[in-house]
Amino acid sequence: MQPEGFDDALGASYRLLDRLGEGASGEVWRAVDKRTDEIVATKLLRREHLADRDLVGRFVQERSVLTTLRHPAVVAVRDLVVEGERLAIVMEHVDGGSLRDVLRERGTLTPALAVDVAAAVLEGLASAHQRDVVHRDVKPDNVLLTRDWESGEPGSVKLVDFGIARIITDRQRTATGLLGTPEYMSPELLTRGTAESPADVYGVGIMLYELLAGRTPFAGPGNEYTIAHRHVTAEPPPLDVPAPLAAQLEALLEKDPTRRPSAAAAAVALRGARAAVAGTPALAPQAGPEDFDTARGPSTVVRGLTPETPAAPSGTDDEPGTPTDLGAPGQQTIVRPMQRRTVVEEDDDAPAAPARRAAVPGWKDPKLIGVVAAALVLLVGAVLFVTLTGGEDDASTENPTPEVPAAGPAEAEQPSQLQAASGLGLERAAAWDPETEQVQLTLTYSADRAPLMGPVLEVLANPDGNCPTDVDWDVPQEPNIVSTTSIDAPCAWALDVGTIQPGQTVQLQATFTLPLEVDEGGDASTALQEWLAGVDETTTTALTDPGLSAAVDSYPAQRLLGISVDVPSSTFIERVVPVTVYPEWPSGTGTVAIFATGSSGDPNSVLAAVAGGTDGVSLSSSCAPSVVVTAAGLVSALSQVEDCTVGVELGNLPETASAPFAVAFRDS
């Protein structure tokens, strides 16, 4: 209920209905968008935040980022309202409550449900991390659920408050030190005072543990500092769950942030462990341990080398004595003195070394005299043989030693087998120098009807797995990182091709050592051609792997197969029809939208790579004038119609139609 005299207007477009709850940063209200009659949720931030001009300015600056985060596992931010004494974030409304509500009711979840929830949150985080947005407050309270969330369908689990925690905590950390929930703090936040994307992955690990155990791993006796400090010094108590899930949980809770998987890789790994926990019952809520095991780090203890028999301690701190025993550390560093060479002093009483035998002149050495005599005998015999045979050498004339022709330069060409839907073309050419065994590989990329961007993948390995190690590229590049791209291939490179304009080409070159087998004619062309075909095969196999998660969107210019167009099944006249476009990968429909009508800000990375941005998207309607595409790029329903579709043409891809939808009158 609204208090008496309460102003329910929020800006010019929204009206507050009723309060849903209260959090650390403000109140959450259910509201209605007066332009569309849609129910939305709004978070009214506390007045102390509004009084901070810097904080308000940062919200306004980051509005374009927050409002363009589009992922099924992220609660979409629709608008930001700054009016009078109100600073409000307008979001989509999720009607199933929070994950915290479920935990209060059930205590724990089955491993299968816990994995589904954690993987969905990780997929949402991966989408945000691509845009350099870090959440910093991942916990069950910030995970909202739809009513059918147990189905595991995309969009049934949603992470809320993206970016809000970061903006507020950055401001408050400067003045008051670390800010956060102690049970969910990452170790690096305590040891370094900073937390980036790996901290979000750690937060999912803490949350997954809590879903399984009914408690966070480091909760226990002590004050907030004690609980927070356990993230650095203690190991989480083990849980009785299947080994594949235990391994993934350990990876998420790794103390060293550089050793944690990325959010995308962790989501893929968790989805892979799902089959191993299907049917496993939920654990009973776990009691806290009496004590925590010491972690492997990060403490460093410096010890001196002490004798096996302990010596008596020194009398005072100022006097040298035996080092004090510091206990058994989790991982100790021992400082050892350098070994010194033993110097043996001369002893007058020691027996003298035996005297050396006098040297014999070289020309009197019996061995030398024997060698010279043998050489003279052989020389005389050779002269007599030549004289008697007349100098003819029939054997050498009749059976000459065949000469092996020297290897010559080799060249080969190989068009790519990969038929990229984006219009990306690739021709490979290689030239081999037999003297240096160096090959120069030339890659020529082209674009068809739309501008294309990298990075692109090239695997310099045969199917047998052999790959060169001294590769020198003439373009910016880096080795393919499995934890980032989820593509695991030997000797794989991520190459920066810049922007390839339609009808133009871009050439890249690499030089490296490549030993090749030469045939009897001294030709290495066949071996070079086979190697080049093998490179094409391994690269194509890596890019078209159907086993990768649909959440993986690496190398879109090469991997994108098509798009799917999502619209509501029905709408009313005078409404804007929301159109959302998802990518089609070798493994299925992607989970991250690459285009949505009405969105602003920077384009999605996939859209930028395959179409040059939103300018490369065109919309059409099959039922104009009942449904039309406006000059602003919106699809507007103007009159009643039973069966209508929206077509989307994106970059080089052919037009793809949505499922049919109907437009009705409001009172029908």
Q: Annotated active-site positions, please?
A: 137
Distance CA 454, CA 494 (A): 8
Phi and psi angles of residue 467, each rounded to the nearest 5 degrees, phi first: -145, 150
Through-space distance between the first and last CA atoms of the chain, rounded to whole angstroms: 31
| Cβ neighbour number for residue 482 with a 10 Å cutoff | 14
Q: How many CB atoms lie within 10 A of CB 224?
A: 11
Strands (DSSP E) along 50-181, which ranges?
A: 77-83, 86-92, 143-145, 157-159
Buried b (16+ CB within 10 A) or exposed e, 609-647: bbbbbbebbebebebeebbbbeeeeebbbeeebeebbbb
- Helix, strand or coil for residue 128? helix
448 CB neighbour count, 10 Å cutoff = 15
| Dist. CA 237–CA 344, nearest whole Å | 57
Q: Catalogue the long-range contacts made by 481-484 (C-beta closer than 8 Å, 24 or more residues apart).
A: 482/265, 483/261, 483/262, 483/265, 484/262, 484/264, 484/265, 484/554
DSSP strand pairing (492-495 vs 9-10): unpaired
Neighbour-count burial of 106, counting CB atoms closer than 10 A to its CB (0-12 exposed, 13-18 middle, 19+ buried): middle
Q: Is the dihedral of CA 494, 498, 502, 504 positive or negative?
A: negative
Under 8 Å between Cβ of 607 and 561? no
Distance from C-alpha of 253 to C-alpha of 466, rounded to nearest angstrom: 35
> Which residue in the block uniquely carries the two structure tokens 């209508």?
644
DSSP summary character for residue 304: -
Q: Encoding tokens for residue 113?
A: 């449900």
Contact 487, 542 (CB under 8 A): yes
Please tell me the distance from the alpha carbon of residue 343 to that of residue 635, in angstroms, as a whole number. 92
Contact 593, 604 (CB under 8 A): yes
- Other Cβ atoms less than 10 A from the Cβ of 332: the count is 13
CA distances for 83 relative to 10, 38, 164, angstroms: 8, 21, 18
Nearest partner of 608 among 493, 487, 504, 454, judged by Cα:
454
Cβ neighbours for 284, distance < 8 A, ≥ 6 positions apart: 107, 108, 214
Half-sphere exposure of 237 (CA within 13 A, CB side): 18
Contact by Cβ (8 Å): 428, 416: yes
Distance CA 162, CA 150 (A): 23
Residue 329 burial by Cβ neighbours in a 10 Å radius (0-12, 13-18, 19+): middle
Residue for token digits 């989501």?
A: 267
